[in-house]
Amino acid sequence: MDAHDIEKVPPREADANEEDVDSLSAGSQPQQSRFQRFSQLLRRWGVETHGIAPIPLEDRTDKRLYQMFFAWLSVNLNVLPMSTGSAGPAFFSLGLKDSLIIILFVDLVTCAVPAFFGVFGPKLGTRAMVQARFSWGLYGAMIPSLLNVFSLMGFLILNTIVGGQTLASVSTHLNDTVGIVIIAVISLVVSFMGYRILHLYESFAWFPNFVAFITMLGAGAKHVVNLPTPPPTPSAVLSFASIVFSSVLSWCTMTPDYGVYHAPAPSWRIFIYVYLGFFIATLPGHMLGAVFAAGAPAVPAWQAGLGDNGSNIGGLIGSVLGMAGGFGKFMTVVIALTIPSAVAPTMYSFGTSFMAVTPFLAKIPRYVYAVISTAILIPIAIVGAVKFYNTLIDILSIIGYWSSSFAAIVLVEHAVIRRGRWATYATADWATARRLPLGLAAVLAFCGSIALIVPSMDQVWYAGPIAKSGTGDIAMFTGFASAALLYVPLRLLERWWEGRLGWLEREAY
């Protein structure tokens, strides 16, 4: 699984409109021509204009693999993991010790999933939703692409809510709405510029948050009281574990996007960089959120920061940092203004996922989707901020349900069907249906996993019979396991049927 076994992609063969607007057909409509001319201008200004066509091997030249570590360190070393961790004590009524143990074990294991997906970027030069076509097929991959569009919008909403709340906690002259708009606009600017500016920004964005987290520990740790709580119920433990699981695993639908210009390297090196980026950032964030949420009832200022309904995680952060005086307030502003480190990459992948849904949508430049996502997320985030924890749990759960099945299918395709051989991916065929799998196996395995996900769900608006039996929300775990088990026999049957149909025009593996 080293660099030497990467397929040789014919130069430029896969990109119908190489430097400007990616298209599956080289049309010459007037509107597309205007986009092309505008893209040429933007490219001179440093804006990335490449679309979703795989990056050829000869263009994957960036040897700075450490950028992948810093990218995921910055994305996760912010306040959203804190809000996820705080849900243990604040939403599921778990004690501090129980919350911390759950977080440790779930993060230790789950960070490996997006880390492995991160290997696909440098190895194949494909975006996550384009790479999915090598298991889901050209038409079947439309399903995860469309689901990912909605999922990434959910992440955008959550991040901007927390950023807006945190910024508003500094001054009475600001409210959540103003904060949300500020965070969204900053994120739009970074995302609009594209891949290289994103990596440059993420290389430094982690440091202010690191200082802020240290400040929070110094100012608030001595006030934390481990309040007695009732023994945890199995359903609360499993439900909280599912939320933490989802918050990490869901990144697998975009981690390949941030290595497509990087040079292929041994898989283990890429994996370690991405894994450490996730784990070193996510674990402290989750734990800090749990610590301060568990201690809030004993500290009036923290409880006031959480608000009457206990849903203002930004207010809690502002209250903790406020104990450090003027410097603490300054760091509160800093930690809010670095929220784009998570929002901007999500906007970027929102665009590439939208482009992968249909050939028509692929003709629209990526930077247009950055503007569209900003216009959508601002009003929805303003509404969702009113009941933050309900919004958080609903969005993370729903994202986790489908992405766990998606991850299982892609991982099984690579590890079992292709036996880990990167040479079996002919990325030049990314847009040719007859040179890709039929996709029926992936779609049927996905649908089959839903049959177990639905009865295992536990939401405010619906609880399935399995969840009601006392297990809590285990839908993400049942979805992952059932999709993996179903996909292998279905895929083997599909390959036999492809041979009968003469579907594949070459012997790939």
Per-residue pLDDT at 25:
38
Q: Give 270's pLDDT tier (boundaries 50, 70, 90).
A: very high
pLDDT above 90 (res 133): yes
Q: At what angle do helices 267-295 and 66-76 cross, to 10 degrees?
A: 20
Q: Give 14's pLDDT tier (boundaries 50, 70, 90).
A: very low
Residues 174-224 have pLDDT tens digits of 777 888 888 899 999 988 888 888 889 899 989 988 998 898 888 888 888
Gap between the Cα atoms of 351 and 345, Å rounded: 10
What's the mean pLDDT when you consider all of the chain?
Answer: 84
Q: Give the mean pLDDT of 373-394.
A: 75
Per-residue pLDDT at 280:
95
Gap between the Cα atoms of 82 and 79, Å rounded: 5
Q: Give the mean pLDDT of 136-154.
A: 92
Q: Judge contact between 412 and 442, C-beta under 8 A.
A: no
Per-residue pLDDT at 443:
96
How many alpha carbons lie under 13 Å from residue 182 in its C-beta half-sphere? 19
Gap between the Cα atoms of 461 and 171, Å rounded: 36
**Contacts for 359 with CB less than 8 Å, ≥ 6 apart:** 23, 24, 25, 431
Could you tell me what percent of the chain has a pLDDT over 70? Answer: 87
Residues in the chain: 509
Give me the helices (H) in 227-266, please.
234-249
CA distances from 182 to 125, 145, 160 (A): 33, 28, 9
pLDDT above 70 (res 142): yes
Gap between the Cα atoms of 440 and 445, Å rounded: 8
Per-residue pLDDT at 436:
92
Q: Give the mean pLDDT of 405-414.
A: 96
Q: Give the mean pLDDT of 68-83.
A: 89
Q: Give the mean pLDDT of 241-261.
A: 92
Q: Give the mean pLDDT of 332-346.
A: 87
Q: Give 12's pLDDT tier (boundaries 50, 70, 90).
A: very low
| Domains of the chain, first to last | 3-384+408-436 (1.10.4160.10), 437-509 (no CATH)
pLDDT above 60 (res 8): no
Per-residue pLDDT at 303:
81
Per-residue pLDDT at 4:
40
CA distances from 389 to 149, 167, 202, 386, 455 (A): 22, 18, 27, 9, 23
pTM, to two decimals = 0.85
Bridge partners, 458 (sequence order): 463
